[in-house]
């Protein structure tokens, strides 16, 4: 069983990685469409792949983000970037479901169950030695697309938490974990 988990680790970051996503995970993932204002002030529609348990939250949250005209660079499923978080960050994409570990660790990320979402990663980096080092990626409060207090309050009003509150802040990251599903995944790998 441990072997399976090793296969999972090996498969991360390549195009076939979805082939190794357990059915129990895929059964819990849903695609939703949300409208948003992009950096040019245009109304756009994005697709979010998320856990079915947080789908309604995200629909309502993104409606509120649209109401306050919070600018978002783009919102696409991670498959558009070969399931590669680095490529998604470089595109400044807002990503949710991505079957992967927390960078620099062996722990499943909340993204792996569709229970975390990263917004404008170029303006809202993770301040940590394991974070992707990308030129121009900088946290400057007040810049277009940088997470504001208003955005944080909207997420928190639906019971989500913000990575920006951590000691090593992850400003892009909002999350509402599915503890049960995570346990099932670990069981699937015999861990
Ligand atoms: Zn994240």
Q: What share of the chain is helix, strand, coil (3-state, %, to 5)?
A: 40, 20, 45
| Centre of ligand 1 from the C-alpha of residue 89, in Å | 10
pTM of the model: 0.91
Q: Any idea what DSSP says for residue 134?
A: -
The rounded Å distance from CA 94 to ligand 1 centre is 9
Separation of CA 111 and ligand 1 centre (Å): 6
Distance of CA 20 to the CA centre of its chain: 19
Q: Where residue 13 falls among pLDDT bands split at 50, 70, 90?
A: very low
Confidence of residue 187 (pLDDT cuts 50, 70, 90): confident
On the question of pLDDT at 18 being above 70, the answer is: no
Distance 78 CA to ligand 1 centre (A): 12
Q: How far is the CA of 189 from the centre of ligand 1 (A)?
A: 23
Please compute the mean of the pLDDT values over residues 83-102 and round it to a whole number: 91
Please, which pLDDT band fits residue 96 given cuts at 50, 70 and 90? very high
Residues 6+ apart with CB under 8 A from 58: 32, 34, 48, 50, 96, 117
Residue-by-residue DSSP string for 77-91 = -GGGGTT-HHHHHHT
Distance from the CA of 132 to the center of ligand 1, in angstroms? 12
Burial letters 48-85, b for 16+ CB under 10 A, else e: bbbbebbbebbeebbebbeeeebbbbbbbbbeebebbb
Taking the centre of ligand 1 as the mean of its atom positions, its distance from the CA of residue 93, in whole angstroms, is 11
**pLDDT value of residue 103:** 77
Query: Could you state, in order of their start, the residue ranges of all structural domains in the chain?
Result: 2-188
Residue 16 has pLDDT above 80, yes or no: no
State what percent of residues in the chain have pLDDT above 70.
90
Q: How far is the CA of 31 from the centre of ligand 1 (A)?
A: 18
Measured in angstroms, how far is the CA atom of residue 118 from the centroid of ligand 1?
5
């Amino acid at each position: 069983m441990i072997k399976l988990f090793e296969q999972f680790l090996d498969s991360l970051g390549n195009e076939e990685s979805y082939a190794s996503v357990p059915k129990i995970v895929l059964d819990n993932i849903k695609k939703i469409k949300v409208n948003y204002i992009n950096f040019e002030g245009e109304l756009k529609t994005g697709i979010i792949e998320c856990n079915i348990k947080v789908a309604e939250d995200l629909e309502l949250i993104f409606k509120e983000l649209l109401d306050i005209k919070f600018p978002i660079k783009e919102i696409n499923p991670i498959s558009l970037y070969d399931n590669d978080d680095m490529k998604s960050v470089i595109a400044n994409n807002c990503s949710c479901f991505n079957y992967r570990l927390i960078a620099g660790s062996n722990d499943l990320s909340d993204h792996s169950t569709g229970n975390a979402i990263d917004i404008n990663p170029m303006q809202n980096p993770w301040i940590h030695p394991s974070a992707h080092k990308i030129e121009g990626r900088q946290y400057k409060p007040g810049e277009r697309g940088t997470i504001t207090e208003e955005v944080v309050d909207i997420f928190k009003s639906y019971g989500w938490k913000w990575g920006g509150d951590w000691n090593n802040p992850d400003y892009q990251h909002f999350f509402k974990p599915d503890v049960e599903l995570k346990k099932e995944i670990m069981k699937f790998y015999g861990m």
